[in-house]
Chain A
Amino acid sequence: MADPIIRCQGVTRTFGNRTALNDVTLNVEPGRCFGFLGPNGAGKTTLIRCILGLAHPTSGTITVRGFDIASDPAAALARVGAIVEEPRFYGYLSGKQNLELWAAYVGDDAITRVPALLSRVGLDERSGDKVSAYSLGMRQRLGVARALLSDPEVLVLDEPTNGLDPDGVAEFRVLIRSLVEQDGRAVFVSSHLLDEIEKICDDLAIVNQGRVITSGTLADLLAAGGRELTVECDDATRAESLLRTLPTVTTVTRAASGTLSVQLSPDSPETRAGVNRMLVEAGLAVSRLEPREDSLEERYLSLVHEAGEA
């Protein structure tokens, strides 16, 4: 596996008596979209500000592209693009003039990328309009274009779909996935929108009250939740009795239609095939055996509540 493009190690940030980040450790891999999910006030923006060198951790280290953000911010940020909280521009300049101004700050040949970037974010026809006349969605897209000026290896986006209408959200999702899949860039995106994270991210961490309560691939996170099987067969009463004898089955409920809902414990080694084999070997004709994983929302709520109770 390639070295992480962002590595946070034991990052803690306090404001007086309040701990905004508590021993946060996570890695963002190249070419992956990493979601940083948590409720409002969980510390998402604080971590992003620390990653970008806009704020400094009280303790812990952060490296970006292998460079320590505290000791070598210029090298760390040389190929990083970001939107923090909301994209801000000079309203009296046009979109194109704004990008040209930032291209001057970026240096190198960034100015040559301006037309292509405006086109990529779908603003080429409105690039001559003043930014003060742009909608929030247009500003977000212009923000992405600005973030891409340095041809970044990683983009850090803080709540990028806030305030966008459904069309804007859908467009933004396509744009983010294209940055990952077509360009091979890493994207670190924070959000409190579960649906958004589920649709665009490969990996994620869930943060609550400044502490990362879980992290990993989206698939692993969902698979680690409570597992449920829906079972239909020719003798629901007998099947229910058989299933209750399995130690890894926590509950079995039978609907009026005879459909059984079988809850397996999260650490159960029992597989769908194993349950099927047992029922078939008992002479039952199984017509339906369907696993149902927790949705991200269910996993998120479960984890956040568990963390809160702990």
Chain B
Amino acid sequence: MIAVAQADLRRMLARRGLILTSVVVPIAIVLILTGVRIFLHSHNPGAHPTVGGETLFAFISIIGIVSVVFGTVIGAMFGAEDVTSGTLRYILLTGFSRLRLYVTRIPVLAIVAVGVALPAFVLLLIGALALPHAGEPGVTASDGGRLLLSLVLNVGIYALIAYGIGVAIRSTGGAIAVALGLNLIGISLFNLITLAVPGVKPWLLDNALTRVTDGGDTSIAIAIIALIVWPAVFLAVGLVRALRTEA
């Protein structure tokens, strides 16, 4: 299975357009944001005494949103591609089982989706630490670790959800739409539910992500369980379809 995982990883990385875009766009955002702050600082240091520090690092939320979008695209494509491209039957003809195929790809996807988000994070962290931030608190190791965990969990979980949806509905575009819809619109809808049923709030994915990375007064155990259950549900739906899809 390791040989297959390695081969699939190489295949994913061979999609240079998608992978490069997923890496370059967040980096470009970091560079633009940093450039703007450097420009402001150099023209009016009094009004803008800081470039780096927490002020710059706060832009991690933008990187997070963009990376979740790319993670979703990668996950959806990874899930739907073999059916849409007609390659699934040829994989199955090798005797490699549907279950092994499905399971082997989960860690590969997580590595790729999180991996493409990390360069921008590292660049932002370096900028925050290295650029002047007089009068502003610096970025601590705790901050860095917490935001890295947030990025990894957000990107990884949404990529896995998109993977499960991609396998289930066998359409890359459809899976992207559903997964992004869940991410962008679903949050608001679920929050409406919490108004009527406040007890479900700790179980909502975004609340659980926030609880694990930023703390809060709800149960950490529930948050961790929620972070496992949400992708597991979508992966289970995808698995059921994967085992039944006629290749």
Write the residues of chain A forming the contact surface with B, with a CB cutoff of 8 angstroms: 52-55, 73-74, 77-78, 80-82, 84-93, 97, 100-102, 104-107, 146, 149-150
**Residues of chain A within 8 A of B15, CB atoms compared:** 92
A93 in contact with B11 (CB, 8 Å): yes
**Residues of chain B within 8 A of A89, CB atoms compared:** 87
Please report the C-alpha to C-alpha distance between residue A31 and residue B60 in the assembled complex, in whole angstroms: 64
**Residues of chain A within 8 A of B86, CB atoms compared:** 85-86, 88
B7 in contact with A104 (CB, 8 Å): yes
Count how many pairs of residues, one from A and one from B, have CB atoms less than 8 Å apart in the complex: 71
Closest approach, in angstroms, between the C-beta of A297 and any C-beta of chain B? 32
Closest approach, in angstroms, between the C-beta of A155 and any C-beta of chain B? 11
B6 in contact with A104 (CB, 8 Å): yes
Please report the C-alpha to C-alpha distance between residue A91 and residue B94 in the assembled complex, in whole angstroms: 19
Known: A54-B247, A55-B246, A93-B14. Is A105-B94 also a contact (CB below 8 A)? yes
- Using a CB-CB cutoff of 8 Å, which residues 1-60 of chain B contact chain A? 3-4, 6-8, 10-11, 14-16
**Residues of chain B within 8 A of A80, CB atoms compared:** 93
**Residues of chain B within 8 A of A84, CB atoms compared:** 89-90, 93
Closest approach, in angstroms, between the C-beta of A73 and any C-beta of chain B? 7
- Using a CB-CB cutoff of 8 Å, which residues 89-147 of chain B contact chain A? 89-97
Closest approach, in angstroms, between the C-beta of A71 and any C-beta of chain B? 14
A77 in contact with B95 (CB, 8 Å): yes
Please report the C-alpha to C-alpha distance between residue A104 and residue B246 in the assembled complex, in whole angstroms: 22
Extra A-B contacts (5), CB below 8 Å, given A97-B10, A106-B95: A52-B89, A88-B86, A88-B89, A88-B90, A90-B85
- Using a CB-CB cutoff of 8 Å, which residues 161-184 of chain B contact chain A? none
Write the residues of chain B forming the contact surface with A, with a CB cutoff of 8 angstroms: 3-4, 6-8, 10-11, 14-16, 85-87, 89-97, 246-247
Closest approach, in angstroms, between the C-beta of A104 and any C-beta of chain B? 4
B94 in contact with A106 (CB, 8 Å): yes
Known: A54-B247, A92-B14, A92-B15. Is A150-B94 also a contact (CB below 8 A)? yes
Known: A54-B246, A104-B3. Is A90-B87 also a contact (CB below 8 A)? yes
Please report the C-alpha to C-alpha distance between residue A149 and residue B91 in the assembled complex, in whole angstroms: 12
**Residues of chain B within 8 A of A73, CB atoms compared:** 95
CB-contact partner of A107 in B3, B10, B11, B246, under 8 A: B3
Please report the C-alpha to C-alpha distance between residue A92 and residue B10 in the assembled complex, in whole angstroms: 12
**Residues of chain A within 8 A of B91, CB atoms compared:** 102, 105
29 contacts between A and B (CB under 8 A): A54-B247, A73-B95, A74-B95, A77-B93, A78-B95, A80-B93, A81-B93, A84-B89, A84-B90, A84-B93, A85-B86, A86-B86, A90-B11, A90-B14, A90-B85, A91-B85, A92-B15, A92-B16, A100-B7, A101-B7, A101-B8, A101-B10, A104-B8, A105-B4, A105-B7, A105-B91, A107-B94, A150-B94, A150-B95
Identity of the chain A residue whose Cβ is nearest the Cβ of B7 in the assembled complex: A104
B3 in contact with A102 (CB, 8 Å): no
Please report the C-alpha to C-alpha distance between residue A107 and residue B100 in the assembled complex, in whole angstroms: 13
A102 in contact with B14 (CB, 8 Å): no
Most buried by A among B4, B6, B86, B94: B94
B90 in contact with A102 (CB, 8 Å): yes
Please report the C-alpha to C-alpha distance between residue A102 and residue B88 in the assembled complex, in whole angstroms: 11
Identity of the chain A residue whose Cβ is nearest the Cβ of B101 in the assembled complex: A105
Identity of the chain A residue whose Cβ is nearest the Cβ of B85 in the assembled complex: A88
Closest approach, in angstroms, between the C-beta of B19 and any C-beta of chain A? 11
Please report the C-alpha to C-alpha distance between residue A35 and residue B10 in the assembled complex, in whole angstroms: 39
**Residues of chain A within 8 A of B97, CB atoms compared:** 74
**Residues of chain B within 8 A of A104, CB atoms compared:** 3-4, 6-8
Known: A54-B247, A55-B246, A107-B3. Is A101-B95 also a contact (CB below 8 A)? no
Please report the C-alpha to C-alpha distance between residue A92 and residue B87 in the assembled complex, in whole angstroms: 13
Please report the C-alpha to C-alpha distance between residue A105 and residue B11 in the assembled complex, in whole angstroms: 13
**Residues of chain A within 8 A of B87, CB atoms compared:** 88-90
Closest approach, in angstroms, between the C-beta of A31 and any C-beta of chain B? 22
**Residues of chain A within 8 A of B93, CB atoms compared:** 52, 54, 77, 80-82, 84
Please report the C-alpha to C-alpha distance between residue A134 and residue B38 in the assembled complex, in whole angstroms: 49
List 4 A-B pairs, minimum CB-CB distance, nearest first. A88-B86, A104-B7, A105-B94, A105-B96
